[in-house]
Each structure stands twice: as structure tokens, then as C-alpha cells.
Structure 1
Amino acid sequence: MKKAKITAYVDAALFDEIDALAARRRVPKTQIIEAALASFLSPDAAEKSEAAIVRRLDRLTRSLERLERDQEITTEALALFVRFWLTTTPPLPDETYSAAKAKGKERYGGFVQALARKLGKNRTLAKELVEIVNVGSKP
């Protein structure tokens, strides 16, 4: 095949990369430049790039859907707890208020410690609920 000569100026760093790649692969720099130009000018190069972007967007979409599901579970669990607590907890008499406040502070500290342990083990409520639902739905 007949070859035509091209003279082009490239950035020195790019030239060094081409030179290093040619040395590693033990091929002439011309062969590397021809392959790069062929790839750039290939009509399906844009399609490959688009397909890669679509795959990445699909992964991001699935990840966002999982986050949304987990957020919904969290919101519903909190709402159910608050509704239950508000409907079943009687108001405190004034004389027991300070003792109840101290006990609440102690319990809250225990809650925060338990939460830290649970998150440290990577065993979240959302994961447990998904496992429970999956086990319950199998025949």
C-alpha cells in the first residue's frame, strides 16, 4: 500500500508518550500514529463511546434507584415509629419530668452507641429488611 507523508506538530509530552509506547511495543512510531488516526476517524468510534457512556449512565441510574428505595424505607420506618410513639406515650406529670429527661438522655446515648456499632458492621436496617422480604417471598 502506498503511503503519503504527513508533517505535524504535537505537544512535546504527547510526543514523549508516543515514543515510549513505540519503544515498549517495539513498533515504529508511524504505526502507533496510524492506529490512533484510524481509531479517531473510524465511524463506529463515536458509537463505542456512546455505548460506554450509556452503560455508565445505566449504572448510575440503578445506583440512584437503590438510594431512593433506601431513603423511602428509612422515611417510612421513622414515620411509623413516630406515629406509634406519639399515639402510645402518655404525657408525663410535672414531678417526674426531670427524671424522665435524665433517663431519656441515657437511653439516647445507648441508642447512638448501638447505631454506631450497627453501622460499623455494615448491617443496616435497609439491608436487613431486604433480606427479610426476600426470604419471606421465596416459596
Structure 2
Amino acid sequence: MSRARLNLFIQPEHAKRLNELAIKKGVSKSSIIAAALASWLSPESGDQREIAMAKRLDRLSRQFERLERDQNILIETVALYIRYYLTVSTPVPEAHQDAARAHGKLRFTQFVEQLGRHLQRGRSLVREAYEDVRPGAADTGERP
């Protein structure tokens, strides 16, 4: 079988890696390049690459949609909580402002510590609440 001779220019780092691979595998650089070119030009491998790429993109799209949904739930939850808090909380008189700030700082520190403990456990409070509302969701592996 006759072969065509080509003179190629490639990046120095690619040439170094090609040389290392040829030495490691005990084959010629030409055979590595010929195999890579055959794989690239093969219609079957091109189709397989496109199918694999489409699957990855579909998976990433689904993950992005879940993240977007979760973010919207989080935003709505915070907005609802803020509206509720502002509706039911009474203003603190000027004379009690310093005590209220000190008490608020203490409660916030406790909140952050509790949050840290909860995150270390690796459980989701939202998932726990969802499982409480929807019995059996934990058994089926459903996502909220």
C-alpha cells in the first residue's frame, strides 16, 4: 500500500507529547497520527462523538434547569420570608436598640453555627421538609 508523505507543523508541546507517546507505546509517530486521522475521518466515530456530545449537552441542560428551578424556589422563599417578617415584626423603640442589636448578633451567631452543623451532616433541610410533606418520596429517590 502506498502512502502519501505530508510535512506538518504542530505546536512544540504537541510534538513533545506525541514523541513521549510513541516511545511509551513502542510505535512510530506516523502510526499514531495515521490512527488519529482515521478515527477523526471515520463517519462512525464522528457519529458516535456527536451522539456522546448530545447526551452530555442534554445532561447539562437538565442539570441547569434543576439549578434554575432551585434558585427560583430559593428566591421566592427568601422574598416570602422577608415580606412576612416585615409584616409581623414590630419596630424596636430607640431606648432598646443596643440591646436588640446585641441579642440579634447572638442569635445570628447561633444560626451560623447551627447552619454549619447541618451542612456537615450532609442532609438537605429542604429535602427533609419535602419528605415530611410527601411521605414516600425518600423511598422512591424522587427529587423535590
- Give how far 1:34 is off: 4.3
User: Is 1:74 aligned to 2:74, yes or no?
Assistant: yes
Any unmatched runs of 5+ in structure 2? 140-144
1:70, 1:126 within 8 Å by CA — same for their partners in 2?
A: no
- Give how far 1:106 is off: 1.0
For CA contacts below 8 A with separation 6 or more, give which structure has more relative contact order: 1
Which stretch of the first structure deviates more once superposed, 110-119 or 10-19? 10-19
Which stretch of the first structure deviates more once superposed, 6-15 or 113-122? 6-15
Task: Determine the structure 1 residue equivalent to 2:61.
Answer: 61
Distance 2:78 2:15 in 1: 60
Alignment of 1:1-139 (within 5 A): 2-4=1-3, 6=5, 8-9=7-8, 32-135=32-135
1:74, 1:126 within 8 Å by CA — same for their partners in 2?
A: no
- Give how far 1:45 is off: 3.1
Amino acid at match of 1:78: V
Amino acid at match of 2:116: A
Amino acid at match of 2:124: T
Distance 2:13 2:34 in 1: 18
TM-score (norm 1): 0.69
Amino acid at match of 1:98: D
Q: What SS does structure 2 have at the residue aligned with 1:60?
A: helix
Q: What SS does structure 1 have at the residue aligned with 2:90?
A: coil
Identity value in percent: 40
- Give how far 1:108 is off: 1.1
Q: What SS does structure 1 have at the residue aligned with 2:109?
A: helix
TM-score (norm 2): 0.67
Any unmatched runs of 5+ in structure 1? none
Max radius of gyration: which structure? 1
1:22, 1:32 within 8 Å by CA — same for their partners in 2?
A: yes
Distance 1:115 1:61 in 2: 30
Alignment: residue pair count: 138
RMSD: 3.2
Distance 2:112 2:19 in 1: 59
